[in-house]
Amino acid sequence: MYYMPFTSNASDLMQRIVIEVDVVDFAKMSGDRVIEKIKSLEVLHFIKQDKEEMIIIASVEFKDPSTKLDEVFNEKDSLLQVLDHSKEGKYLILSKSKPQNDPTGQILASEFWAMGGYMLTPLEIKNGKLKMSFLGSAKQMRIIPSLLKATGISYKVLQLADANSSPDSPLSQLTEKQRKVLTAAYNYGYYDLPRKIDSRQLSEKLKIGSSDFIKHRRKAERRVLSEVLKTA
């Protein structure tokens, strides 16, 4: 199991980051190839997470239906309880594990514990991708990508947003730069009729190149529209 427990500094602005990595790359980097046996995994609820113990409820399905749970979830001093097992082969499990017995999680957690924060949902494996979500200060959010870079694993930031923004909001799907550009464009009247400011003036206010401003604005607009139209 993947693990990254930590505590937070309440004086910092809390942010949420969602990162995606390739399961095969992650397995090679961690040296724990059993993760490749998982077809899908979703942590549904974190009951407890600290330096001593992590307790979760999760659903898991294996690529080979004959795979046994203890072939994958076999950490020392861990406890695994099957809550349900469907005919399709999907398990609903309660897992208790100690972080020091989790070599995969230790790759990132060892340096990050002292910084503070929490792990949260979505934490899942789907379509060959591992998606991880973390909550912490802006400083902590910068450390997570740097730790991944140090391991040499490729990653994609799917979301970086203030913790007080709703996960269901279209803005939560934007990167920090995209959200900054889009909200600035709206606040300064770029979308007003008649338009109160143009791209060049906005890029100067944000102290970024005009071409970069246009690129981030268009990507942000496309993401927001895709989220809105998807639910329409």
Q: 112 and 26, same structural domain?
A: yes
Give percent of the chain with pLDDT exceeding 90: 21
2-11, 78-87, 137-146, 157-166, range with the lowest pLDDT: 2-11
Is 213 within a domain?
yes
Does residue 153 share a domain with residue 48?
yes
Into how many domains does the chain fold? 2
Cis ω on the peptide bond leading into residue 194 (within 30° of 0)? yes
Domain check: are 131 and 196 in the same one? no
| The model's pTM | 0.64
Residue 73 sits in the same domain as residue 113: yes
pLDDT for residue 127: 92
Last residue of a domain, one of 162, 190, 212: 162
H-run or E-run covering 127: none
Do the Cβ atoms of 115 and 6 come closer than 8 Å?
yes
Helices 23-30 & 103-112 angle (0-180, nearest 10): 80
Render pLDDT for 7-31 as a digit per residue (tens, 0 to 9).
Answer: 444 445 677 888 899 988 888 776 6
**Co-location of 54 and 103 in the same domain:** yes
Q: Note the pLDDT of residue 40.
A: 93
Last residue in a domain, options 119, 145, 162: 162
Distance CA 198, CA 1 (A): 50
Is 3 a member of any domain?
Answer: no
Based on the fold, state whether residues 105 and 218 are members of the same structural domain.
Answer: no
Predicted confidence band at 38 (pLDDT cuts at 50, 70, 90)? Answer: very high
**Long-range own/partner contacts, residues 145-152 (CB < 8 A, 24 or more apart):** 145/19, 147/108, 147/111, 147/112, 148/19, 148/21, 148/108, 151/29, 151/107, 151/108, 152/29
